[in-house]
A and B are shown apart, each in its own frame.
Chain A
């Protein structure tokens, strides 16, 4: 076996977390710098992974497989493919940045830094696990540090938000665990021995009814995480109360665990149910796109506004996934990455102004453009990336999703397209209220513009926003084979066929799956 880079990716942040805990308590100022430096190691490992990843291969790479508890068919099985690769890199990329943006945390810093690093390990574990028990363990483990990050270092209603976050997710998890167990039982009946191995479970034959219920159990858990309308109400509270870094990670990678799960498990393990439920999922996604945006428009708290924009953007991801076309799936995956970058940056920016003014009320600002021109420019740049301006990253995913979903779900795609207007409304209106006009409040007059540390935090994200907008091909090339394989599997196991396009045929506007 080659060097176990995937295990390394999980162990590094975990070990770093332990190391931070072991730092002398008398020196709290050491915790954050050590954590930041340590978090560069998994970033390096993830970049190594990115470089060594073989483009054009659909299957799992860097696979590690060790039997763990053979009687129950549990194995320590890790692997990375085009779908998880970029999510892992994104995770490893966002953690050093979030830690660097955590200088406002003064209370129990070493616990905070350790929680962040444990969280990183958990998230990377979720994206790499190919055994459902191992996956489930990481999925649950990750909840704990996140719970503390919101509940200890959060804002005024942090306990309410943390408990809400925990209960929502735990509720979903319970159902998922039941579904995982029943999958293993079915596997025992068919294969002779129980297994929790994802790759082996792909060979299990499930009835349509079984697929439906299992899809529902997995799907509910993932849909809460996404969050899919109407399961989204934990998100604004969690975001508003979480410290800046918590919001960045929450929006940047945590939500992606939901869409990743749908794509990785629901589409592959329950293909028939996927095809049956395609219009249902797409409908919820489109409601999320429009509804999230409409509700975002009238938010008075800028952090809540960005939180609702996530509901809208993640709706695009889910729509792309359940479009079941190559363009839609690729768009969904790249949109996960793009949303992580742009929304992560927006939360960082909101955090920067919060640290100066200790308020997030939009009405408390006004005219900041002349006081903090660099900050204003950075905010506007990110806002336009989020709005989906071509040339910046947000457009690529949105355009793929729209064009791709139009092939199979034209009506849904057209409704989703109205999201581009609403996104412009809520972000540009917020910008107008915060940054333009005369400076109305005395408190805002003396605010300092971004400092070097803050520019260092934002610059790498801005560079990626530009790069992925102008030249997304390297990313898309890595995603493509893996999502194609998923589509092929669905075509082989169901009577679904990816819609033919380019034949000059008149589209049936109701769509094959419209009823």
Chain B
């Protein structure tokens, strides 16, 4: 079994290495086929090893490769417990589908081979992240997914916007990473190790509330960066500059959920720091609402989905913040299905529309792209929270747990509920503007359905978006039973939804919210595209100008400060002082020139006087 896990990790890495060197020389579609094969094989191997864990053969597997950082006690070591199994299967499963889809989508691209090399690198990185058995290996994966994301966002680097977006994503993520690093320093200082087993085992006894709060808030900063939460979400909308399969895999289904995974994995630390857990949930709720309001006013189909992703990640943060780790991870999984589907569907639309992403120039596509429409409709119902589709079950469980905790959490629940209404509204708006109504295509655009290699993954994800939620219903919580041991092993106490009739009432309320959102958007967008370019709509469309404010503060302000440091302080200040000393020396030397008499005896006198003086000083003051 250990070998299988090693292979599952190394296959995508091998694929990356091979394609990085030889990918450019292989003709289409071979790089895509190779990359998809390694991804698929990785999924199969992970599944076989996972079945052993699922079937109860072993509760967890640990694979250790070698000692990596001796003085920190860090080994290159991997943990395969139920939580990593689920994450691995989602990553490789959705990953394989998106690899396959890309064979069609990237057809004809100049750097076809390079694309699949990067995609495989991403898979390896993400697997490292979700299977690492200590904080350092988790951090390796954490940073490597950042690298893959950078490479793939700026994949079409000839476009200045794509290059800028890639850099922005990496830098903003790095701001979060500072928090992560500080958390690691605190953890090592406290526990003398970075291994999950030891840290989580000792935490309940050794960790005071204050320190736990410090560590977890720093972890949260890291998670907020990677998972695009307030205030570090700004990179994700720009990340849409990458090819659409990248948006689907990395910036919707998998990488951005790393923060959620990390909070769930370190659940015990958050349990010991109730304040931090509350902050996690609050950040989540605030982000969910904030991003949903922005999504309402977007015209670019991918930006709708980008803000929607930020918003949905907010739900997951609410879940894990409320210690509903299973619910949070469950939503992570269902979201991976339907959001990947939405992005791939959007990609299919963009592909068919010859690159058009503005929904105002779409309309009436349901007839020409029936498969894309049908599968996206499934995802639309799933994200809108309509039963029995996948999103309903997971979102509802989160909301139920949050409600059940009472007190201030009720406010978060209300925010979540209102966000659900908004979600249904903007998704319905997107569906009508894209597929309904009359065609508003530009001249010369002839939309067509995408090739089979793209449609089949859509269909598979469509099926998963329907049935995926059924693995964890209140009637049969299979996933919960499966995941619980992983949390128990690390001493986490999971929060559960309330008992009795309350969940039923809550479920009906949230279904009602979804239906209201759908109805309102249908009424508004069924037959026309209203003018939404002024006033409040403009404010929302521009995302409350937060990005512009950041740009002014950090790029313009910070840039000015740095230029001042370089030009005025460094060159004129420090170096000016240096050159000033040099000039002064020169001037003094010119004045002293007359002293150079050429008479040896006068020099000798000077030397004698100097030496005596120095000796006297050393004897009295030198202190030797």
CA distance A267 to B211 in the complex (A): 33
- On whether A298 and B72 interact (CB within 8 A), knowing A230-B574, A428-B167, the answer reads no
Contact bitstring B523-564, A, C-beta under 8 A = 1, else 0: 000000000000000000000000000000000000101110
Task: Determine whether the beta carbon of B189 is less than 8 Å from that of A406.
Answer: yes
CA distance A280 to B228 in the complex (A): 38
Contact bitstring A385-426, B, C-beta under 8 A = 1, else 0: 000011100011001101110110010011001101100110
- On whether A506 and B575 interact (CB within 8 A), knowing A297-B562, A421-B174, A471-B68, the answer reads no
Instruction: Select one of A182, A327, A330, A471 contacting B624, CB under 8 A.
Output: A182
CA distance A428 to B566 in the complex (A): 19
CA distance A396 to B561 in the complex (A): 31
B171 within 8 Å of A (CB atoms): yes
Contact bitstring A288-311, B, C-beta under 8 A = 1, else 0: 000100110111000000000000
Task: Determine whether the beta carbon of B157 is less than 8 Å from that of A504.
Answer: no
Task: Determine whether the beta carbon of A506 is less than 8 Å from that of B211.
Answer: yes
Task: Determine whether the beta carbon of B140 is less than 8 Å from that of A480.
Answer: no
Chain A residues closer than 8 Å to B178, beta-carbon distance: 417-418, 420-421
Chain A residues closer than 8 Å to B189, beta-carbon distance: 406-407, 410, 501-502, 507
Per DSSP, are chain B's interface residues mostly helix, strand or loop, or mixed? helix
- On whether A505 and B190 interact (CB within 8 A), knowing A185-B624, A295-B562, the answer reads yes
Q: B106 → chain A, closest Cβ, in Å?
A: 17
Interface residues on A, range: 35 or more
CA distance A421 to B178 in the complex (A): 7
B139 within 8 Å of A (CB atoms): yes
Task: Determine whether the beta carbon of A428 is less than 8 Å from that of B170.
Answer: yes
- On whether A414 and B182 interact (CB within 8 A), knowing A471-B66, A505-B190, A507-B190, the answer reads yes
CB interface residues, A 437-487, toward B, < 8 Å: 437-438, 470-473, 476-477, 480
Instruction: Select one of A189, A295, A391, A472 contacting B69, CB under 8 A.
Output: A472
Contact bitstring B195-224, A, C-beta under 8 A = 1, else 0: 000000010011110110000000000000
CB interface residues, B 162-202, toward A, < 8 Å: 162-164, 167, 170-171, 174-175, 177-178, 181-182, 184-186, 188-193, 202
Task: Determine whether the beta carbon of A476 is less than 8 Å from that of B158.
Answer: no
- On whether A207 and B143 interact (CB within 8 A), knowing A501-B189, A504-B191, the answer reads no
Instruction: Select one of B158, B184, B205, B566 contacting A438, CB under 8 A.
Output: B158
Task: Determine whether the beta carbon of B154 is less than 8 Å from that of A425.
Answer: no
User: Considering residues B69, B191, B575, B622, which has the most beta carbons from chain A within 10 angstroms of its beta carbon?
Assistant: B69
Q: Which residue of A lies closest to B163 (CB)?
A: A436
Chain B residues closer than 8 Å to A432, beta-carbon distance: 163-164, 167
Chain A residues closer than 8 Å to B205, beta-carbon distance: 504
Task: Determine whether the beta carbon of B174 is less than 8 Å from that of A420.
Answer: yes
Q: A469 → chain B, closest Cβ, in Å?
A: 10
A384 within 8 Å of B (CB atoms): yes
- On whether A507 and B186 interact (CB within 8 A), knowing A167-B582, A207-B624, A400-B69, the answer reads yes
Task: Determine whether the beta carbon of A424 is less than 8 Å from that of B174.
Answer: yes
CA distance A473 to B87 in the complex (A): 30
Q: Which residue of A lies closest to B559 (CB)?
A: A298
Chain A residues closer than 8 Å to B160, beta-carbon distance: 436-438
CA distance A291 to B561 in the complex (A): 11
Chain B residues closer than 8 Å to A414, beta-carbon distance: 182, 185
Task: Determine whether the beta carbon of A233 is less than 8 Å from that of B574.
Answer: yes
Q: Which residue of B lies closest to A433 (CB)?
A: B163
Q: A258 → chain B, closest Cβ, in Å?
A: 17
Task: Determine whether the beta carbon of A326 is less than 8 Å from that of B70.
Answer: no
Contact bitstring A203-222, B, C-beta under 8 A = 1, else 0: 00001011001000000000
Chain B residues closer than 8 Å to A402, beta-carbon distance: 181, 185
A367 within 8 Å of B (CB atoms): yes
- On whether A298 and B563 interact (CB within 8 A), knowing A507-B186, A507-B189, the answer reads yes
Q: A351 → chain B, closest Cβ, in Å?
A: 23
CA distance A410 to B186 in the complex (A): 9
CA distance A17 to B70 in the complex (A): 41
CA distance A425 to B175 in the complex (A): 11
CA distance A410 to B178 in the complex (A): 14
Instruction: Select one of A403, A425, A438, A472 contacting B171, CB under 8 A.
Output: A425
Instruction: Select one of A164, A420, A438, A473 contacting B177, CB under 8 A.
Output: A420
Task: Determine whether the beta carbon of B158 is less than 8 Å from that of A437.
Answer: yes
CB interface residues, A 36-56, toward B, < 8 Å: none
Contact bitstring B130-174, A, C-beta under 8 A = 1, else 0: 000000100110011001001000100111101110010011001
CA distance A298 to B206 in the complex (A): 46
Chain B residues closer than 8 Å to A406, beta-carbon distance: 185-186, 188-189
Task: Determine whether the beta carbon of A480 is less than 8 Å from that of B71.
Answer: yes
CB interface residues, B 597-613, toward A, < 8 Å: none
B interface vs A, CB < 8 Å?
A: 66-72, 136, 139-140, 143-144, 147, 150, 154, 157-160, 162-164, 167, 170-171, 174-175, 177-178, 181-182, 184-186, 188-193, 202, 205-208, 210-211, 559, 561-563, 565-567, 570, 574-575, 578, 582, 618, 622-624
10 residue pairs A–B, Cβ–Cβ below 8 Å: A230-B574, A234-B578, A403-B184, A403-B185, A406-B185, A438-B160, A473-B67, A501-B188, A502-B193, A504-B205
Top 3 A-B pairs, shortest CB-CB distance:
A502-B192, A504-B206, A436-B163
Since A403-B184, A431-B167 are in contact, a sample of 13 more A-B pairs with Cβ atoms closer than 8 Å, ordered by chain A residue number, is A164-B578, A297-B562, A389-B144, A389-B147, A403-B72, A406-B188, A421-B178, A429-B167, A437-B160, A472-B68, A480-B71, A504-B205, A506-B210
